[in-house]
Amino acid sequence: MPRLKNGLLQAAGWLFYLTLLMGLALALPTSIFDAESKNFIFLIGVVGIWRYSMGATHFLRGMLFLYVVYPHLRRKVRKLGTSADPSHVFLMVTSFRIDALTTAQVYSSVIREAIDCGLPTTIVCSLVEMSDELLVKSMWQRLNPPARVKLDFVRIAGTGKRDGLAFGFRAISRHLPDERAVVAVIDGDTVLAPGVVRKTVPWFQLFGNVGGLTTNEFCEVRGGYIMSEWHKLRFAQRHINMCSMALSKRVLTMTGRMSVFRANVVTDPAFIADVESDSLQHWRLGRFKFLTGDDKSSWFSLMRLGYDTFYVPDAAIYTVEHPPEKSFIKASRKLMFRWYGNNLRQNARALGLGVNRLGLFTSLVLFDQRVSMWTSLLGLTAALIATARYGISFLIAYLLWIGFTRLVLTLLLACSGHRIGPAYPLILYYNQIVGALVKIYVFFRLDQQSWTRQDTKLTRDLASFQRWFNTWSSRTMTFSAGSIFVAVLLMMV
């Protein structure tokens, strides 16, 4: 019965969306569809086509990897048989301020996976609270793993996830793993799907230079409908982009929810230092440490050390998402601020590694990440300017174009294997506009960082003048960049 009700609501949502599109089409003047008219050229020329080339390339590359290249590689892995098995598997879980129900789900899945994978395994628990340790011990006794599965606790001070990871990596180093051992780094809100270890560990024997790989994510959201759909949309987009980048073995992030590394990578002092105390020297804001973004630091470290990165699309994990606010607008802005900040802090120095190290396509993707904050706003800004000067038909045409293209993008997301919903087209546009504004804000304030799960912010002991200079120079540069952007579009339109 609940499934039928959900299906009816989905159908009603799609019908409502298509009705809105038809209403916008009927409201347009007929000249808007005339190929000889300037309105038509404006609609498809400035607002549309050029922005979609990168997205189309990602989609085609992603589908090529997912349905052609990856199945071929999977067959090669299966032919390796037991020769691809690692000598030892470390499952390292970091937990801090996560509710007991989620913690129980996570550790139950981890212990069961350690039992079912049939490999020598050590579960490394990087914990802060004693209550979590007691919970893990009780579950360990109940599930009663065989002798080949070990348990190791690492107590940390709760000073941040980066410290928890570094302590865990050093604990693994004390086990003296050999070069065939692997380490899975798992977040405290990640539930492992059955078989995920067996699906991920053989790739390190097939690809001798892959230092780390990451997995496909699905989510359970402890929030409202829109927040749930927003997260699910993000994971569907992530899946396609990951597949695209895996085609070049240049996956751009070692996702903190679950990524797997060679043991000799995570025990490398240079890698541990990159994750524990990564920092950036900014020409205006000075030097500051990275509070968040350990997944980006680990990726950059792998690139700098000369390793490749990979993605395993059929290895699934399920994350339990706890929105930081009840309001969707506030929660999404907070999460975007953290995600885009992590991205932009790594972007410039990643490009500095050069085309020879990254490859041409990866360099182009990183460059596009820097300019997309402006290109995403171009269509809306130009439509508003044209509407103010020439009439409302331009805004209607723009909205129709957005509604149609976001519908097409949503349908294409179905090819990822993730479920789609009628709210996706609107959420896609919300992400485009609000995400671009958040990116611009963050771009000029890269030193501002905070966690969303715990109330932890980066504090810097700066002189009063330096704090004043950082604040007002950021505001001035944001205003100046926005003004130049609008002025250029006024001249164009």
Q: What is the CATH number of the domain that holds 146?
A: 3.90.550.10
Decide: helix, strand or coil at residue 20.
helix
Is residue 299 within 8 Å of residue 252, measured between CB atoms? yes
At 338-354, the pLDDT tens digits run 999 889 898 888 988 99
Longest Cα separation, the chain:
77
Across-strand partners of 121?
89, 149
Please check whether residue 243 is in contact with residue 311, taking contact to mean a CB–CB distance below 8 angstroms.
yes
* pLDDT beyond 70 at 223: yes
Total domains, the chain: 2
Last residue of a domain, one of 327, 355, 378: 327
Rg of the chain in Å (alpha carbons): 24
Do residues 254 and 384 both lie within one domain?
no
Please check whether residues 410 and 434 belong to one and the same domain.
yes
E strand or H helix at 182, and its extent?
strand 182-187
Same domain, 31 and 169: no
Asked if residue 357 is part of any domain, the answer here is no
**312 lies in a domain?**
yes
In a domain, 362, yes or no: no
* Same structural domain, 42 and 74: no
Domain enclosing residue 43, as ranges: 10-51+369-491
Domain contains 413: yes
Contact (CB, 8 A) for 427 and 329: no
**Cα separations (Å) of 24 from 20, 329, 393, 400?**
6, 26, 10, 6
Distance CA 266, CA 254 (A): 12
- Residue 100: which pLDDT band, with cuts at 50, 70 and 90? confident
In a domain, 337, yes or no: no
On whether residue 347 sits in a domain, the answer given is: no
- Please give the pLDDT value at position 96: 79
Residues 97 and 203 reside in one and the same domain: yes
- Indicate the DSSP class of residue 457: B
What is the pTM (predicted TM-score) of this model? 0.90
Query: Does the pLDDT value for residue 182 go beyond 80?
Result: yes
Dihedral (Cα; 453, 455, 459, 465), 10-degree rounding: 110
pLDDT at 23: 84
User: In which element (H, E) is residue 309 found?
Assistant: strand 308-321
Give the model's pLDDT for residue 316: 93
Answer yes or no: do 96 and 190 share one domain. yes
Average pLDDT over residues 364-392: 85
Model confidence pLDDT, tens digit, residues 24-34: 877 877 655 55
Question: Which among 296, 327, 358 is the end of a domain?
Answer: 327
pLDDT for res 32: 56
Claim to verify: residue 130 and residue 257 sit in the same structural domain: yes
- Helix/strand/coil percent split, the chain, to 5: 60, 15, 25
Q: What is the distance between the alpha carbons of residues 142 and 303, in angstroms, rounded to a whole number?
A: 42
- Buried-exposed string 4-27: b where 16+ CB fall within 10 A, e elsewhere: eeeeeeeeeebeebeeebeebeee
Does the residue 238 lie in any domain? yes
Residue 49 pLDDT > 80 = no
Least Cα distance to 401 among 43, 152, 121 occurs for 43
Is 249 inside a domain boundary?
Answer: yes
Is 90 exceeded by the pLDDT of residue 363? Answer: yes
In which region does residue 166 sit, left (phi positive, over 0), alpha (psi from -120 to 50) or beta (all else)?
Answer: alpha
Closest CA to 257 of 83, 145, 92, 388: 92
Q: Are 453 and 402 in a shared domain?
A: yes
pLDDT at 458: 59
User: Distance (Å, rounded) from C-alpha 199 to C-alpha 194?
Assistant: 10
* Average pLDDT for 423-444: 94
Q: Write down which residue in 277, 303, 327 finishes a domain.
A: 327
Residues 311 and 449 in one domain: no
- Over pLDDT 90: what percentage of the chain? 53
Beta-strand runs (E) in 99-148: 121-127
24 and 126 within one domain: no
Confidence at 139, pLDDT banded by 50, 70, 90: very high
The tens digit of pLDDT for each residue in 239-273 reads 999 999 999 999 999 987 999 999 999 999 999 99
